[in-house]
């Protein structure tokens, strides 16, 4: 009944580190070189690195992001300007350096990177094998590495929904006994949504995670938002939590250089009872106008209480709302970790139904939450949990 929770680190990694070391949220961290240069990784304590992993992030191999350039094994740097045909020449050297870095830094596992493809390329597995898998397996054999090898599987929602595509990937990855696990994540169907609302995608993803576990692969599901609770139905899957939205859903955007001005999101607070991030101003209105509903929706934390008591509305770049989320969400995950898969289903079903009822109670105040704060995702999550139970857990 293993269920670990990793911090998906991004911008302001210090918040994740503080949450992990001071508030004891999570079981480890996944470090991001696009947000953290090599020197800062090397300065982390051995104790933190021993329970964490390093994601080499080869997703966009010609990325020009400054911090990636501090890693000499990154494709754009080692190839002196990435081009697919030229990288073949240095792929093994890149793999050797990347593995050597992860081993010397004392990370818990060795992550084999992969390239991100946004289309359902029929040569996906062939390209990934040539790009990193085969060079990394050869490099790992050379150093007689005894740490587990984890293959990165960056997917799209369409890849996950296709049974044939999932079978292709499963058949490919299980051909290599050296691979003990996968670090898998999928970009959403509609990246504008704050929470995934597609029952077909979630059901297919749960089936794929179940298939990976049935192949005796350790599974880490990256870039999770609140739907990570659903993935706990698959026994032996570890999940993640993040700060900003680009650590709670995968996007190639963070690897691109942008010239235009970019506007930050409105401040939101995570309310466990609603299983959602609510626009902060609207959350305060509920707190004052419907305290009975608020008591069922909000879980007190020092950071949440402090922010709610402040005279000024917080800015999305301030840490307290995220530190509140870490504590509240980690508590939900810890409660699930103590349960069997069937008990997790029962607990989640109860939570989803209660959240739907709370949203109805808010509407009856009457009060209308804005688009992203509404619980439109909850019925899809409930349907997904019920169908997964019928397919996989009812016979247990």
* pLDDT tens-place string over residues 344-370: 999 999 999 999 999 999 999 999 999
Q: In this structure, are strands 237-242 and 218-221 parallel, antiparallel, or unpaired?
A: parallel
Contacts of 247 (CB under 8 A, 6+ apart): 8, 9, 10, 223, 240
Is 184 domain-assigned? Answer: yes
What's the mean pLDDT when you consider all of the chain? 95
The CATH code of the domain that includes 11 is 3.20.20
Q: Could you report the per-residue pLDDT of 166-195, keeping only the tens digit for each?
A: 999 999 999 999 999 999 999 876 666 789
Choose the final residue of a domain: 220, 255, 290.
Answer: 255
Residue 147 pLDDT > 80: yes
Question: Is the dihedral angle over the CA atoms 156, 161, 167, 168 positive or is it negative?
Answer: negative
Report the percent of the chain where pLDDT is more than 70. 97
- Domain span holding position 376: 268-393
Residue 324 pLDDT > 90: yes
What's residue 396's pLDDT?
A: 60
Nearest one of 314, 322, 312, 317 to 277, comparing CA atoms: 322
Same domain, residue pair 34 and 171: yes
Asked if residues 135 and 91 have their Cβ atoms less than 8 Å apart, the reply is yes
Number of domains in the chain: 2
Is 162 domain-assigned? Answer: yes
Same domain, residue pair 154 and 34: yes
Same domain, residue pair 43 and 141: yes
Backbone angles phi, psi at 359, to 5 degrees: -65, -40
Report the percent of the chain where pLDDT is more than 90. 89
Same domain, residue pair 129 and 199: yes
Cα 219 from Cα 215, distance rounded (Å) = 10
* 156 or 259, greater pLDDT: 156
Is 231 domain-assigned? Answer: yes
Averaged pLDDT, 4-33: 98
Same domain, residue pair 94 and 219: yes
Same domain, residue pair 164 and 226: yes
What's residue 264's pLDDT?
A: 72
Averaged pLDDT, 45-49: 98
* 135 or 317, greater pLDDT: 135
Cα 165 from Cα 163, distance rounded (Å) = 5
Same domain, residue pair 237 and 347: no
Is 25 domain-assigned? Answer: yes
Tokens linked to 23:
């508030």
Asked if residues 23 and 327 have their Cβ atoms less than 8 Å apart, the reply is yes
At residue 81 the predicted structure's pLDDT band, cuts being 50, 70 and 90, is: confident
The SS3 of residue 8 is: strand
Same domain, residue pair 247 and 148: yes
Averaged pLDDT, 31-38: 97
What's residue 340's pLDDT?
A: 95
What's residue 190's pLDDT?
A: 64
Q: Could you report the per-residue pLDDT of 220-273, keeping only the tens digit for each?
A: 999 999 999 999 999 999 999 999 999 999 999 999 987 655 567 889 999 999
Same domain, residue pair 246 and 355: no
Is 332 domain-assigned? Answer: yes
Same domain, residue pair 24 and 121: yes
Same domain, residue pair 178 and 103: yes
């Amino acid at each position: 009944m293993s269920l670990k929770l990793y911090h998906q680190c991004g911008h302001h990694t210090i918040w994740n580190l503080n949450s992990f070391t001071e508030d004891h949220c999570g079981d480890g961290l996944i470090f991001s070189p696009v947000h953290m240069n090599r020197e800062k990784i090397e300065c982390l304590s051995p104790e933190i690195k021993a329970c964490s992993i390093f994601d080499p992030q080869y997703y966009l191999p010609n990325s020009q992001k400054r911090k990636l350039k501090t890693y000499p094994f990154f494709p754009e740097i080692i190839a002196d300007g990435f081009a697919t045909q030229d990288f073949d020449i240095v792929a093994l050297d890149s793999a050797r350096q990347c593995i050597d870095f992860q081993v010397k830094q004392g990370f818990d596992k060795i992550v084999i990177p992969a390239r991100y493809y946004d289309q359902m390329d029929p040569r996906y597995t062939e390209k990934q094998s040539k790009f990193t898998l085969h060079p990394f397996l050869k490099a790992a054999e050379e150093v007689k590495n005894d740490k587990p090898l984890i293959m990165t599987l960056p997917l799209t929602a369409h890849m996950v929904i296709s049974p044939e595509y999932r079978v292709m990937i499963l058949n490919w990855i299980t051909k290599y006994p050296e691979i003990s696990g996968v670090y898998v994540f999928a970009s959403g169907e509609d990246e504008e949504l704050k929470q995934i609302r597609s029952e077909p995608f979630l059901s297919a993803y749960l089936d794929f995670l179940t298939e990976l576990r049935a192949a005796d692969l350790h599974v880490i599901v990256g870039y999770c938002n609140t739907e990570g609770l659903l993935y706990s139905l698959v026994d032996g899957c570890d999940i993640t939590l993040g700060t900003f939205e680009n650590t709670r859903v995968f996007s190639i955007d963070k690897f691109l250089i942008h010239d235009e001005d970019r506007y930050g999101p409105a401040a939101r607070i995570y309310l466990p009872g609603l299983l959602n991030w609510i626009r902060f101003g609207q959350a305060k209105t509920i707190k004052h106008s419907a305290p009975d509903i608020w008591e069922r929706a909000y879980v007190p934390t020092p950071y949440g209480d402090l922010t709610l008591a402040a005279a000024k509305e917080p800015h999305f770049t301030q840490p307290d709302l995220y530190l509140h989320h870490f504590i509240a969400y980690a508590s939900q995950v810890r409660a699930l970790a103590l349960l069997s898969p069937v008990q997790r289903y029962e607990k989640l079903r109860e939570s989803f139904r209660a959240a739907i009822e709370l949203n109805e109670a808010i509407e009856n105040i009457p009060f209308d939450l804005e688009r992203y704060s509404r619980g439109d995702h909850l019925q899809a999550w409930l349907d997904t949990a019920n169908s997964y139970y019928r397919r996989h857990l009812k016979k247990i």
